[in-house]
A and B are shown apart, each in its own frame.
Chain A
Amino acid sequence: MKLSAMELPSAMTVFVMVLFAYFLVVSGFMYDVIVAPPGIGSSQDPVTGAVRPVVFLPGRVNGQYIIEGLSSGFMFVLGGLGLVMMDLASEKARARNVRLSFMGAVWEVTVMSHSWFFLDAMTCTGLEELQFGVLSCLEE
């Protein structure tokens, strides 16, 4: 029973909108809006005085710079899309060359998202507090 004459969008359209919303949430958009950190950090080399950009916020667990958050969120979504393409590639009904390009995308995305995982270590750089056994940032 339909009450209005409006056309509902297709499932895949909704999926794309949902994916974009997920990208915003997981890149810490709320954190950016409320806490308003700088876009990217900077540190000064003590000897030469040159200003160097710092990508990952050091020293805290629940903190980020804006660009850091957005790029991490992008990597998460890219990894997810790789899995989606793998499913699209395994459908037998599609033309062969389309399937081939899908598989190529799968490999590229797999390599990229895995390399991001090795940056997992970066998020753990500021964890001297963990060694102290007191996680004042995580728990109360």
Chain B
Amino acid sequence: MASTGKETANGQSAKAMGPGTTPITAPSAAKAASWESYYSSVKNFKLKTKQQELLIRIAVLVLIYILAFACRLFSVLRYESVIHEFDPYFNYRTTLYLTQKGFYEFWNWFDYESWYPLGRIVGGTLYPGLMVTAAILYWVLRFLSLAVHIKDVCVLTAPFFASNTAMVAYFFGTELRDRGTGLVAAILLAICPGYISRSVAGSYDNEAVAIFALLLTFYLFVKAVNTGSLAWSLGAAFGYFYMVSAWGGYIFIINLLPIYVLVLLVTGRYSLRLYIAYSSVYIIGMLLAMQIRFVGYQHVQSGEHMAAMGVFFLMQVFYLVEYVKKQLGDPKLFKAFLRVTVTLAVGVGALALIVGLATGYISPWTGRFYSLLDPTYAKIHIPIIASVSEHQPTAWSSFMFDFHILSILFPAGLYFCFKNLTDGTIFIIIYGLTSLYFAGVMVRLILVATPAVCLISAIAISATLKNLSVLLREKAPVYTSTKITAKQKASAKTGADQPLPFQKEGAFLLLLGALYMLINFGFHCTWVTSEAYSSPSIVLAARQSNGERVIFDDFREAYFWLQHNTPPDAKVMSWWDYGYQITAMGNRTVIVDNNTWNNTHIATVGRAMASNEDDAYDIMRQLDVDYVLVVFGGVTGYSSDDINKYGNWNLVILLEPCCVTPIV
């Protein structure tokens, strides 16, 4: 395009030199001519509209990428590059082990330093996706001679993947509607507090990469359903494998896809593309998922995965019926065949399910996920699940806090999706509704709903802005022909073609209103990120009465005291909240930690903590404990210390009838 500019410039300057003037062959004149042509080519440098659009789009995406990374760095700038919370410390410890000892040692690791004296089979009880991802990033950076510490790689993994998720949201939005929607979806997802809460720098937890894998899988699957291509289906299967390796929330994918397929079948949208996409993704995804030891054979044995299998067989039945319909010419014969096939399929399926459940081969839904369907279940039966504060049901203020204007834009976006239903919009509707229901049951799951809410809100914003700008740009209809046609007469009567009063001004004002709302949203997101979601939890900050800021680093000081002042084989007993941190930073053996896989062990520790000193001493001797770590917040007013916890949950966990072991 620069060349065309130059050409015209040259052509113009050549014309200007024209027949009238005599060509001067002196080199200075030639130089002047070339400068002039260069100058006029730069002045006439004008991109074609398509290229302008591309440049703007790429510039916006680059800015979104940088913004998504940068707005998650508050705690790194305020405190230091430190791992937050509790669970990330275990992930950091395992990643450290992986980079030091290699993959095979990591995969077969038996950890004798936690859950003393039981130990823990780490290789078989974790989701390796996060650790392997961070280790690969670390090895790549080291290969490029950038000497980074693994801790910094772990801290910054989450913002890096948040930026990538925003890019996937762009492609997903483009797939659903158009490029404008994609751009809006990307920026919404980049700053939405619901996602920032679990992907801030230092939050080195499974969700950091899992949301990226989730959105990627969904995007690739929708692409596969829209195109019917085997390549996209393979991509979706590998995306699903990444999700299974990263987080236990893959159950959501393996149940959402069958629901989506069922809805498409019921609304009469069965097509060969859907058949190819779902069958490939299910089979290959299932085979890949079995490579993760923690998941194992659950895809064929667990009740939570049976919906996907049932829908898979249903799809085969549909394909068979379609095939037979094409071969048979006779509609009556086909109806009979259909009736036989349907009854046979339903009968065989029900029989297989009953036999599987009765023999115990298919295990029922585990408590963790059953409490999502029946929210009152956990409170009565599994108090340790109900005690976690992020498992509480959601009040409206949490929706407002995490979504702000998106909660208003969501129903409007649903309307636009329902207005022109395609396979893609049906998917996003189902994803949005199911994830919002689960977000209503458990605060923590607002994270899973965030991509859907952002995408649907992006559809609303994009469609509304388009409508408003059409209203703004509408020109008054000009009657050019002398013969007024009947249609124009009729429309002139009803006045349908005439613009509304103050149309331009009204549309302009509404556009300004939309701008104001979006700016407000940006400010809200930044405020929420800065105040609410950037606390490292291991370092506490408080404001004194004179306004001065005080930093409490008590946790880390205590753990390093343990590391320096106790013998290396000392066993430390504490409440399970602090287990991961003690093993990671204090490097000592603990009795119970955050994995909470053995409720009896935890109840024993709780009993020791809640009894009087003589009984407690006996229990501790039995557990071979050397040190006890207790968190007390009385002086500073720290409200979630052990005393406060013992007021509520620990005794309930302790008094579960199945879990109290009599200490002889």
Contacts and interface: CB of A to CB of B under 8 A. Distances in A.
B441 to A, nearest CB: 5
A50 to B, nearest CB: 27
Contacts of B400: 72, 120, 123
A84 B415 contact: yes
Interface residues of A, number: 70
B9 to A, nearest CB: 44
Contacts of B501: 100
Nearest to A138: B532
A110 B390 contact: no
Contacts of A96: 494-496, 498, 500
Given A83-B409, A92-B496, A31 B393 contact: yes
Nearest to A13: B418
A34 B520 contact: no
A33 B322 CA distance: 46
Given A15-B418, A30-B394, A129-B639, 13 more contacts: A1-B321, A28-B399, A29-B440, A62-B392, A80-B408, A80-B415, A83-B412, A83-B460, A84-B411, A96-B498, A103-B506, A123-B401, A132-B637
Contact of B396 (A2, A22, A68, A135): A68
B543 A30 contact: no
Best-surrounded residue of A25, A63, A64, A106 (most CB of chain B within 10 A): A25
Given A1-B318, A80-B412, A63 B407 contact: no
Nearest to B342: A3
Nearest to A94: B496
Contacts of A73: 396
14 contacts: A15-B418, A25-B436, A31-B394, A33-B393, A34-B393, A61-B397, A64-B395, A83-B409, A92-B497, A114-B517, A129-B639, A134-B638, A135-B532, A138-B443
Best-surrounded residue of B322, B395, B400 (most CB of chain A within 10 A): B395
Interface in A85-129: 86-87, 89-90, 92-96, 99-100, 103, 106, 110, 113-114, 117, 120, 123, 127, 129
B443 to A, nearest CB: 6
Interface in A16-49: 18-19, 21-22, 25-31, 33-35
Nearest to B443: A62
Interface of A: 1-3, 8, 11-12, 14-15, 18-19, 21-22, 25-31, 33-35, 57, 61-64, 68-69, 72-73, 76-77, 79-81, 83-84, 86-87, 89-90, 92-96, 99-100, 103, 106, 110, 113-114, 117, 120, 123, 127, 129-140
A27 B397 CA distance: 9
Given A123-B400, A134-B640, A35 B470 contact: no
Nearest to B87: A140
B268 interface: yes
Contacts of B519: none
A93 B497 CA distance: 8
B61 to A, nearest CB: 26
Contacts of B537: 134, 139
Contacts of A110: 510, 513
Interface of B: 85-86, 197, 266-268, 270, 318, 321-322, 325, 338, 342, 375-376, 379, 388-390, 392-401, 404-405, 407-412, 414-416, 418-419, 421, 429, 433, 436-437, 439-441, 443, 460, 463-464, 467-468, 470-471, 494-498, 500-501, 506, 510, 513, 517, 520, 524, 531-532, 535, 537, 540-543, 637-640
B393 A28 contact: yes
Nearest to A119: B400
Contacts of B416: 87
A39 to B, nearest CB: 14
B399 A123 contact: no
B397 A77 contact: no
Given A31-B393, A96-B494, A77 B411 contact: yes
A100 to B, nearest CB: 6
Contact of B395 (A19, A28, A84): A28
A90 B467 contact: yes
A26 B338 CA distance: 43
B573 to A, nearest CB: 21
A63 to B, nearest CB: 5
Best-surrounded residue of A3, A69, A83, A110 (most CB of chain B within 10 A): A83
3 A-B pairs closest in CB distance = A80-B411, A83-B412, A79-B408
